[in-house]
Amino acid sequence: MVVLYGGQSAEHEVSRVTAAHVLAAIDRSRYTVEAIGIDRDGQWRLFEPPADVESLPALPVAGTIVSPPEVFADSNADQLTVVLPLLHGPMGEDGTVQGLLELANVPYVGAGVLGSALAMDKAAAKATLSAAGVPQARWRAIHEPAWSGDEDAITGILHDLGETVFVKPANMGSSVGVSKATGSADVRVALKEAFRYDEWAVVEETIVGRELELAVLGNVELEFSVPGEIVPGAEFYDYDDKYVDGAAKLIIPAELSRSEVAEMERLAAQAYRALRVEGMGRVDFLYEPNGRGFLLNEINTIPGFTPISMYPKMWEATGLSYPRLIDTLIELALDRHHRRSAKRQLD
């Protein structure tokens, strides 16, 4: 098994924490593990994990430089390699690395090229979900090169979405570049911040309600965890809340009725399929109990796996241990690979 971590996105550090935790949890008697860190320049480095890897808070990105073809050259029939891409954000969770793995013809955990790209890009995801009839907050997508930045354009958006909006880069995660903004001057600053990360941004109406999540596993048949709830420590669930001070409260299982859980599962499955997610996904909702009900916020195809992350915690609360979760992800990767390989051989 090859664990890929680090990466060229703003979530490089988060990925290293995730990788340290996953590596410590993998059953080394069942799997041979190679750890490859991708540095900020995109170089792949083979890291030799020490015996006491569980004592590392984050996996270093260090070691001999290797090229991707070299890594996968010896993945043959007698020892099947499965890649676990633990890369968050652009150049990792967005279909780019998945494309490389497709070319190398190696099985890998999680969504494929299209699913990764669609779920990562908030503008493309929202358009696809709206075509599939999945309820969401009202939104606008803005493309920087085509954006006038006129006062009229901004006031028009605020007129449609309300005075207080969320502004986000389309391709990012971990709340990086996300702001809550009120009024046109504030929105202008928020857009500038979002455009630091991507030339596409989305603006959304502010939802006043609960923040709920479901962990999903599967390719065709889907399994759902018990729901989780996030009570942000700051004004919203921002980067520090997620990884630095951990002030957010995580409630697992969330207090919901059976019919509410059933509704969440129904919408999660609909969204997961519409966005072509495979393997795993953490499906995030904003919930207006006395309004429109569950509104889909996003699906993360490579959710955080740190000790305080929701995805593994929700599975643990459902009865699926961390090592069993990894086993299941590997089985799903192989299942998808076999199905796809069968199609490739038809011509």
Tokens of 127: 């358009």
**Nearest-5° Cα angle at 324, 18 to 282:** 55
Q: Which is nearer to ligand ADP, 223 or 240 (CB)?
A: 240
Query: Applying CB under 6 A, what is the total number of residues that bind ligand ADP?
Result: 19
**Which range of residues in 20-28, 127-135, 169-177, 212-220 is near ligand ADP by CB under 6 A?**
169-177
CB-wise, 23 or 299, nearer to ligand ADP? 299
The answer to whether 233 contacts ligand ADP (rule: CB under 6 A) is no
Report the distance separating Cα 228 and Cα 241, nearest Å: 16
Residue among 108, 166, 224, 285 that touches ligand ADP (CB under 6 A)? 166
Shortest distance in whole angstroms from residue 63 CB to ligand ADP = 30
CB contact at 8 A, 144 and 137? no
- Comparing CA positions, the residue from 277, 281, 215 lying closest to residue 250 is 215
Contact pick of 31, 147, 195, 236 for ligand ADP (by CB under 6 A) = 236
Q: What angle do CA 104, 90, 37 make, to 5 degrees?
A: 60
Find the binding residues for ligand ADP in span 259-288 (CB under 6 A).
284, 286
**Going residue by residue from 172 to 211, which x/- string records binding to ligand ADP, judged by CB under 6 A?**
xxxx--x-------------------------x-xx---x
Interface map 55-94 toward ligand ADP (x if CB under 6 A): ----------------------------------------
**Does 237 help bind ligand ADP (rule: CB under 6 A)?**
yes
Report how far residue 341's alpha carbon sits from residue 114's, in angstroms, rounded to the nearest whole number: 17
Secondary structure class of 210 (helix, strand, coil)? strand
> What's the rounded Cα separation, in Å, for the pair 255 and 314?
13
Strand (E) or helix (H) holding 34: strand 34-38
Q: List the beta bridge partners of residue 223.
A: 217
In angstroms, what is the minimal distance from the CB of 264 to ligand ADP? 16
The residue at minimum Cβ distance from ligand ADP is 237
Q: Which of residues 291-310 bind ligand ADP (CB under 6 A)?
A: 297-298
104 phi-psi bin (left φ>0, alpha ψ -120 to 50, beta other): alpha
The dihedral sign for the CA sequence 53, 34, 225, 265? positive
Instruction: Identify which range of 90-98, 141-149, 165-173, 263-271 contacts ligand ADP by CB under 6 A.
Output: 165-173
Q: Do residues 130 and 105 lie in contact, with contact meaning Cβ atoms separated by under 8 Å?
A: no
Q: Is 332 a residue that touches ligand ADP (CB under 6 A)?
A: no
Cβ atoms of 220 and 194 within 8 Å: the answer is no
Nearest residue (CB) to ligand ADP, 206 versus 270: 206
Give the shortest CB-43-to-ligand ADP separation in angstroms. Answer: 26
Q: Which helix (H) or strand (E) holds 339?
A: helix 322-344
> Which residues contact ligand ADP (rule: CB under 6 A)?
137, 166, 168, 172-175, 178, 204, 206-207, 211, 232, 236-237, 284, 286, 297-298
